[in-house]
Homo-oligomer: A and B are copies of this chain.
């Protein structure tokens, strides 16, 4: 393997070993359960070296997923404008990324996620802990409602990506991004902050009926 120069620090073999160990750890234990110590042990290096190469655990997760953006930088501005327009800002940013040159990598990533259970686990964990949790934490909502609201947002956004960029269902595939924003932002806003009449009553009744909450 050719030795890289430039902004990525360190020995490329060590770097790859850390990424491979991190990929396994995040898929097996989830983001919260995977520790830098375990990841370092899996790669046979000192934990300090993981910090030195990648910084904090969330940055390491971004590097593992090879996503062309850092949610830790992108999301604060989406949340900062207040809960009122958060759906619109989220959908607009989502489409801006997909419509950028990085979108082609997104299509490949989505295909891989949908055909491979291991990649699916990683992506589910990434979207939940790195994107939706950050968005939800900026909104003043009952904590118990956040997981279902998040997964509803995920259902609309992943469906938008699949319909517009993978299946290319017309005219949604060709309309300007602002048309899709105008149509879909109210859906995401409702899932994030709307009343969702009956949904949480039904969900509680379902939990009682099956003897406990669904596995998280």
| Chain A interface residues (CB < 8 Å from chain B) | 110-111, 113-115, 120, 123-124, 127-128, 147-148, 151-152, 154-160, 162-164, 166-176, 178-179, 182-184, 186-187, 190-191, 196-199, 202-203, 206, 209, 213-216
CB closest residue in chain B, given A147: B171
CA–CA, A198 and B183, complex, Å: 8
CB closest residue in chain B, given A186: B190
Q: Say whether A158 contacts B152, CB under 8 Å.
A: no
CA–CA, A171 and B210, complex, Å: 14
Q: Say whether A151 contacts B124, CB under 8 Å.
A: no
CA–CA, A93 and B51, complex, Å: 50
Supposing A179-B199, A190-B187, A206-B179 touch, asked if A163 and B155 sit within 8 A by C-beta, the answer is: yes
Q: Say whether B163 contacts A148, CB under 8 Å.
A: no
Q: Say whether B183 contacts A171, CB under 8 Å.
A: no
CB closest residue in chain B, given A161: B159
Supposing A114-B115, A155-B156, A163-B158 touch, asked if A197 and B182 sit within 8 A by C-beta, the answer is: yes
Q: Say whether B124 contacts A168, CB under 8 Å.
A: yes
Q: What 18 new A-B contacts, CB under 8 Å, besides A158-B167, A176-B202?
A: A113-B167, A120-B168, A123-B167, A124-B167, A148-B175, A151-B172, A154-B172, A155-B156, A155-B159, A155-B164, A156-B156, A158-B159, A158-B163, A175-B203, A179-B202, A182-B202, A183-B196, A187-B190
A216 touches which of B127, B171, B182 (Cβ 8 Å): B171
Give chain B nearest CB distance to A118 CB in angstroms.
12
CA–CA, A158 and B172, complex, Å: 13
**A182 CB contacts on chain B under 8 angstroms:** 196-199, 202
